[in-house]
Every structure is written in C-alpha cells, then in structure tokens.
Amino acid sequence: MPADGFALCPVRDILDRVGDKWSLLCILYLGSTDRLRFNELRHSIMGISQRMLTVTLRSLENDGLVRRTVYAEVPPRVEYCLTALGQSLLGAVIELGNWAKDHAPVIAEARQRVVAPPAATAGQV
C-alpha cells in the first residue's frame, strides 16, 4: 500500500465510502422522504441486514451525510434524515440511478453477448 498523494485521492476516498453495498441505497431512500425510522428504512431496503443498516448509517452519519435523531421514549425511536450535505449528494446519486435504470437493458444485452458470442464470425478479433 503506497503512501499516495495524488489528486484523485478525494474521489477515491468518497467513492470508497459511497460505493459500498448499501450507502447509495440508504441515501436514495432517505432522499425520497423527510425522515425514516430504523425499521422503516430496513423494510424499504429489502435484503439489508440489521447489522449492515446500522453500520451503513453510522458511516454516513460520521461523514455528515445523515443526521440521526434519538427520542428519549420507550419504546425507543430513532429517526434518520439526510443532512444538507447528504442532499447535495442526492442529485448526483439520482442521476447515476437514472442512468442505471435507463441503460440496464443495454448492459444486460452486452453481458449476454459475452457469454454467447457469435459462433460463425471467422478470424475477426
């Protein structure tokens, strides 16, 4: 692991954080409403485990993208929402999401082409 000091480090850094399995999903869902409770979010992002939701939310909170509000009630209630910083990221995420939705079939097609290449083509690389 080299001590790197090049210009794209911040990009790498952010993408590492935001490019994990659940962060962008959390941001997308949190961005679609005002705020969500823990289990609301957990139910929205089907497939996420309780642990990963906690870990992801902590991570986003630590980066200042998500605000966590604890209500001193019983039973406990905790609500999450995007911070201004998180909202500023939301645009790019949504754009990425739209791209993904728009081009999903094309990509699926490209992948098919890999597993099932044309058999009759001769010579051509």
116 binds a second copy (CB under 8 A): no
What tokens appear for 76 in the block?
């406990």
Among 28, 29, 37, 97, binds DNA (CB under 7 A): 37
- Of the two residues 51 and 102, which places its CB atom closer to DNA in the complex? 51
Q: Which residues contact 92 (CB under 8 A, 6 or more apart)?
A: none
Q: Which residues contact 21 (CB under 8 A, 6 or more apart)?
A: 52
- Of the two residues 37 and 83, which places its CB atom closer to DNA in the complex? 37
Order of all β-strands in the sheet with 36-37: 36-37, 77-82, 66-71
Among 52, 81, 85, 94, binds DNA (CB under 7 A): 52
38 binds DNA (CB under 7 A): yes
Which segments of the chain does DSSP mark as H helices, in order?
Answer: 9-18, 23-32, 38-44, 50-62, 84-115
Which parts of this chain interact with a second copy (CB under 8 A)? 1-2, 4-8, 10-21, 24-25, 28-29, 32, 44-47, 62-65, 70, 72, 85, 88-89, 91-93, 95-97, 99-101, 103-104, 106-107, 109-111, 113-114, 125
